[in-house]
A and B are shown apart, each in its own frame.
Chain A
Amino acid sequence: MADKFEPTPKAKPIGGELLLPAAAILFSIYYFTTITEVPFSAQVSALFVGSVLILLCCLLFIRTFLQVRRGEATLGIGGLIEPVSYIPIRLGLLALTLGFIFLVQWLGFTLTTFLFLSLAMMLLNGGRRKRFIVAVSAVLSFGGWLLFIYAFDTRFPAGPFENLMASVL
């Protein structure tokens, strides 16, 4: 019996495929807890959609279990994180993106974009061609200011640079 769970050499790691269904089930259950107070007519459509979603996720779990049992797949998450060498770069880019969103409300669009583009491009390029990257970042962030804020008058997040330019122009 144990042999049935033995993965074959070609077994696909499909554990990562369970992440979204798991999140979907958790979210649906949470959603249901927030509609207990409203009348039934307002619950029906969410109950219908949520129930179908949970049912579909269960079907996927059963299918995955059967695939693992037949040795066609494993519960590894390799497919999700491959290539492994890019994990630090992805995490670095994610941290920079979070920093961008956090800083943009204080430093404004132009300065934050310049900083983010410079650092992210250097990260992805392994620290090579620094001068070129700084120049490209400067041109793009200034061009963005010129097009969106100056020409289109869009309300992008404003900071020291935008305020200075507004007082000068």
Chain B
Amino acid sequence: MEFSLDIFIEQFARTFTFWWVILPSIFLGLVVGAIPGFSAANTIIILLPLTLAMDPETGLTFMIALYASSRMGAGIPAILVNIPGTAGAAATPLDGYPMARQGKAQQALAISFVSSVLGGLLTTIVALLAMPWLSQVAYYLHSVEMIVIMIFGISLIATIAARDTLKGLIAGFFGLMIGYVGADVVYEAPRGTFGFLELYDGVPLIPALVGLFAVSEAFAVIEGESILTQRGRELMQKGGWGGTIDGLRETLKRWWHVVWTSMIGLVIGVVPGAGAAIASFVAYQQSRTFSKTPELYGTGHIEGLIAPEAANNGVTSGTLIPLLVIGVPGGATAAIMAVVLQYHGVTVGPDLFMNSPELAYGPFTAMAVTYALMMLTVLPLARYMSNITVVSTVYMAPIIIAFTLVGAFVPREYTFDMYLALGFGVIGYIARKTGYHVAAILIGVILGPLLEQYFLRALRIAQGDVMVVFSSTIGNILWAMLLLSIIFPYLMEARRRKARDRDATA
């Protein structure tokens, strides 16, 4: 499975001939990514008959373009109205929304677009070059290591909500408990379901996301005329292309930041089940930990926007690696791609590189071409999209409620899910008003079922010995890294405080 430059160049040129599939997919992906409840996976399922009717190469190109552009699309409402289109964009509003409120929506969108494109392009190239080695990552991560990774995710909550670590942890662990709702995977006993059959499969993610972010935001924003601050309104009136150019320049200036945060996304994407939500939070936290100005994070800081956007686009290339190399899909969309390929009689795995190199390298070249075309087609739209922030909350709040609640209905078609979204909306509203971070609750809900599964599996292997969580070398290294990632920010802060005190007394 050696990388062949000739095949890649030939494939790259060949992929450009699919522009007629890629361009409509980009716009479709942007729309479905921007609407909570409409993920790329859902859309591909809806359009499955169309995909199956295409030849495998065209179908794959279509799916890849939709997948990559939906990642970017999810960041648009996250920045403009504080509602991530998917869980993968849940870290984007941390700094994107404050920028929009300050009247810098155009700049924020441009930063999001450029870092998404650069992150996506870069990781695609690295994925191609490093595929043989990256594919091994999944082999070394077993239940024990995954438990540490999950708890790592939770520890991020404390640092993300660093203004009050205790509240951050409460929100995260409350989310975990909610994530534990549902029938036991082994014994099938319903737990914490309040008797609702609709919760036997666990708490569905989309209603949780819609409620925590969209519904609670709609109830919160009605206090103001628009989401913009006074200063933000003055800035918005200037208009023009300045914001887009600024965003482009500011992102290119921080190219190294894009590089390393997108690499975090790539590596996490390789781990089956980890996904974009974890990747974007890890990247955000790491970005803040190593920043010279961590206190600016959460206030509309450019690096705080670049990190999650570069990382969640890095995940797209990462999730394809286990699918193509070992035949294990890294996420829902990759799983659907596997189904489509199997329908056409194509078996994914190492043999694919020998038998059908155009299909093996195709997804990566399709992704590279998609990102290149996205830069040309989507970046100019930032100026016009940013105008959404000036829309009065009188119109905005009801629109958000109506359309996102129906979005909560779509995945399972249960009216119950809309009530659930409203329930999460109430929780989210209380959380916002009392200083608990809704993103912390959401990441808890996402990680809860995963943590439980890995916990259960590890305990069964160790015959109930809970010390199994310290039984692996890689796991112990990860524990040490976890401790360091919690302690390091405190040490940095103490050092800064000391320096400030020294300057003040000098």
**A residues bordering B, Cβ < 8 Å?**
14, 16-17, 19-21, 23-24, 27-28, 30-31, 34-35, 37-42, 44-46, 48-50, 52-53, 56-57, 59-60, 63, 79-80, 83, 86, 89-90, 93-94, 97-98, 100-101, 104-105, 109, 113, 116-117, 120-121, 124-125, 136, 140, 144, 148, 152-157
B contacts with A: majority SS = helix
Task: Please name 18 further chain A to chain B contacts, defined as beta carbons within 8 Å, in addition to the given A40-B464, A46-B452, sorted by A numbering.
Answer: A20-B427, A20-B430, A20-B436, A27-B178, A34-B189, A42-B184, A42-B456, A45-B452, A46-B191, A56-B169, A83-B223, A89-B222, A93-B218, A100-B401, A124-B393, A124-B397, A124-B398, A125-B394
- Contact (Cβ within 8 A) B187 A104: no
| Interface residue B171 (Cβ < 8 Å from any Cβ of A) | yes
Q: How far is the CA of A125 from the CA of B435 in the complex (A)?
A: 28
Q: How far is the CA of A59 from the CA of B418 in the complex (A)?
A: 34
Which 10 A-B residue pairs are closest in the complex by CB-CB distance? A120-B398, A45-B455, A53-B173, A31-B192, A24-B174, A101-B418, A124-B394, A17-B434, A34-B191, A41-B459
- Total A-B pairs, Cβ < 8 A: 172
Residues in A with CB closer than 8 Å to B409 are: 104, 156-157
| Interface residue B3 (Cβ < 8 Å from any Cβ of A) | no
Q: How far is the CA of A41 from the CA of B466 in the complex (A)?
A: 9
Residues in A with CB closer than 8 Å to B191 are: 31, 34-35, 38, 46
B394 CB contact (under 8 Å) in A39, A46, A56, A121 = A121
- Contact (Cβ within 8 A) B402 A63: no
What is the number of residues of chain B that contact chain A, defined by CB distance less than 8 Å?
61
Q: How far is the CA of A121 from the CA of B405 in the complex (A)?
A: 17
Q: A86-B222, A120-B398, A155-B413 are in contact. Are A56 and B184 (CB under 8 A)?
A: no
- Contact (Cβ within 8 A) B422 A42: no
A contacts with B: majority SS = helix
B219 CB contact (under 8 Å) in A27, A93, A98, A153 = A93
A44 CB contact (under 8 Å) in B170, B435, B466 = B466
Q: How far is the CA of A20 from the CA of B413 in the complex (A)?
A: 29
Q: How far is the CA of A23 from the CA of B434 in the complex (A)?
A: 14
Residues in B with CB closer than 8 Å to A113 are: 402-403, 406
Tell me the minimal C-beta distance from B362 to chain A in angstroms: 26
- Contact (Cβ within 8 A) A117 B419: no
- Contact (Cβ within 8 A) B167 A60: yes
Residues in B with CB closer than 8 Å to A94 are: 219
Q: How far is the CA of A152 from the CA of B32 in the complex (A)?
A: 10
- Contact (Cβ within 8 A) B169 A79: no
Residues in A with CB closer than 8 Å to B393 are: 124
Q: How far is the CA of A24 from the CA of B436 in the complex (A)?
A: 13
Residues in B with CB closer than 8 Å to A35 are: 189, 191
- Contact (Cβ within 8 A) B464 A41: yes
Q: How far is the CA of A124 from the CA of B393 in the complex (A)?
A: 8
